[in-house]
Structure 1
Amino acid sequence: MAAARVSVSWCGLCLLLAAVLCAVHNAKALEIHVPNELFVENGTYAKLPCSFKSTDNPGNTTSVTWTYTEEGSSSSGHVIFHYIGGRPFTGQVHRFKDRVTWAGDISNRDVSIKIDKITFKDNGTYSCSVMNPPDISFTPKQIKLRVVEKDNLPASNVPFLVGIICAVIGGLLIIALIVFAVVITKKKRATKNYTGGDGGQTESLMSPVKQPPRRSPSDTKALVTGAPSGTVQGPVIYAQLDHSGKAGNQINKSETVVYADIRKNC
């Protein structure tokens, strides 16, 4: 009887182990992304960024856990923040109570947190762990937090990036001006060639019409002076006159009378 009970117990344990192994095998790993190191000015706040990639959309079953390990400690860490079912929960570490707040957006797969009133005591390692069933993360990602004075903060890359952006914009503007100047020059040359490339036809059409030379009064006088001299006989009209005093058609005496003798001297 006891042997039967032992066999049944082993069968149940084997089935449970097989189910766990199947669940682990079918589970897909998440991809968690955090910076390796973060420098923060003493007395300010620190935003610990963390994001993840998953094949399934996040929902009420998505959970996030943040833990803290003091610098130089070998412990597994203490939970300082937990998020599940769309609600945030603070951890049991008294030093972080009322200082840690949710700063993420679960719909955008952002699970960042914010820690106010940062001091040198907050130096250490912060771990971000995410579970989004059926995807799970077996290994949390860690951030090394370095609290320093303002003068010891590393140089920001923002001015460098701004300089690069300004240089790129300036280069594009110069290229645009060069292209514009080339286009204008080509248009001017094309207009000039079109105007003067017709063999002078346009110029001849626009030039004034040549008028015949006018003769001056001296030229007219020369023509008159050059005419042959002497008397010019004009037309002479003749008529016959009747001196008989008789009526009739018979003309007894007639003589030729000059009615007009036009003479013209030129």
Structure 2
Amino acid sequence: MAARVGAGAGAGAGRAAPWTCALLALGFVTTGVAALEVYTPKEIFVANGTQGKLSCKFKSTNMTGTLTSVTWSFQPQGTDTSVSFFHYSQGQVYLGNYAPFKGRISWAGDLNKKDASIYIENMQFTHNGTYICDVKNPPDIVAQPGHIRLYVVERENLPVFPVWVVVGIVSAVVLGLTLLIGLVLLVLHRRRNFKRDYTGCSTSEGLTPVKQAPRKGPSDTEGLVKTLSTGSHQGPIIYAQLEHSGGHCSDKINKAESVVYADIRKN
């Protein structure tokens, strides 16, 4: 009887083995597909006695929820061991018993924005060391934690500009100069093409020869009007000279020339 039970159990275990293997394989596949990445600055400087913010961002293929958690650990300078001093889960803050951080830690992140940052108040030289940000967002639980090397220094020893600020300023200046030079070259190129394509006109091109009337004095004008008055169907006579000064085309009437209007009425 015992042999039968053992055989049955063995058979049941044999039948269950394929399902177990399948589930394990599925678990491995899920773990391989899931991805969680943590981003932190490599190093920061904080003035002694001031507040420091430890920035930690993360990227996950899954939505954050009640199972998402954040753990901060501290590795003192000159040691190889780390101590967990802060935990955040389901909207609750859990502080460790590590004396250097009692009453100094506060939550500064927002899991909906993939932010797991914290504040540390009144930082002292004893806080020099490496800070580790570890985020879990099931099923994304396997990730390389972020490490920050923190330096607490006197205020006068703070770097004037962090390296990333200097790099950003230099990059912005180079980009701005490149765009400005490109714009200037574009304007010059367009002007050069415009001058080359524009031929203009001269006084000898596109003009119909017009015979100018000689200048008439007051007496001549009166005589001309009288003479024309005796005609029958003569229309108005207009003397005008077109300007061609400066080599430019113009249809302006030269105001310096005499203009005679004669209204000839039929006798």
Q: Same fold (TM over 0.5)?
A: yes
How far did 1:54 drift? 1.6
Alignment of 1:244-259 (within 5 A): none
Aligned counterpart in structure 2 of residue 165 of structure 1, from 167, 172, 183? 172
Q: Are 1:186 and 2:193 matched, yes or no?
A: yes
Partner of 1:128: 133
Residue 47 of structure 2 is aligned to residue 41 of structure 1: yes
Structure with the larger strand share = 1
Q: Residue 211 of structure 2 aligns with which residue? A: 209
| CA pair 184-108 structure 1, distance change in 2 beyond 3 A | same
**Number of equivalenced pairs:** 201
The two structures have a TM-score, normalised by structure 1, of 0.61
Say whether 1:92 aligns with 2:94.
Answer: no
Asked if 1 retains the 8 angstrom alpha-carbon contact of 2:100 and 2:126, the reply is: no
The alignment status of 1:118 with 2:117, answered yes or no, reads: no
Displacement after TM superposition at 1:131 (Å): 1.0
Q: For the pair shown, which has the larger CA radius of gyration, 1 or 2? A: 1
- Amino acid aligned to 2:76: E
In 2: Cα distance, 1:165 partner to 1:41 partner? 28
2:232 is aligned to none
How much is the aligned-residue C-alpha RMSD, in angstroms?
3.7
> Quick check: 1:80–1:92 contact (8 Å CA) kept in 2?
yes
Q: After the TM superposition, which segments of 4 or more aligned residues of structure 1 sit over 4 Å from their partners?
A: 17-24, 211-214
Q: Secondary structure at the match of 2:112?
A: helix
**Alpha-carbon distance change, 86 to 128 in structure 1, aligned in 2, over 3 angstroms:** same
Instruction: Return closer, same or farther for 1:21/1:138 CA change in 2, 3 Å cut-off.
Output: farther
| Conservation of the 8 A alpha-carbon contact between 2:37 and 2:144 | no
Q: 1:122 to 1:24 in 2, by over 3 A?
A: farther
**Aligned mates of 1:153, 1:60 — CA distance in 2:** 39
The TM-score, its normalising length taken from structure 2, stands at 0.61
Unmatched 5+ residue regions in structure 1?
215-266
Does structure 2 retain, via aligned residues, the 8 Å contact 1:42–1:148? yes
How many percent of aligned residue pairs carry the same amino acid? 36
Find the aligned partners of 2:191 and 2:77 in 1 and give their Cα distance.
68
Distance 1:194 1:136, change over 3 A: same
Query: Which ranges of structure 2 fall in alignment gaps of 5 or more residues?
Result: 217-267
1:63 corresponds to: 69
Cα displacement string for residues 15-36 of structure 1 (whole angstroms, at most 9, x for unaligned residues)? 9x98996686343452222233
In structure 2, C-alpha distance between the alignment counterparts of 1:53 and 1:113, rounded to whole Å: 17
Alignment-derived partner of residue 250 in structure 1: none
C-alpha change, 1:156 and 1:211, in structure 2 (3 Å) is same
The 10-residue stretch of structure 1 (24-33 or 114-123) with the greater mean CA deviation from structure 2:
24-33
The aligned residue for residue 176 of structure 1 is 183
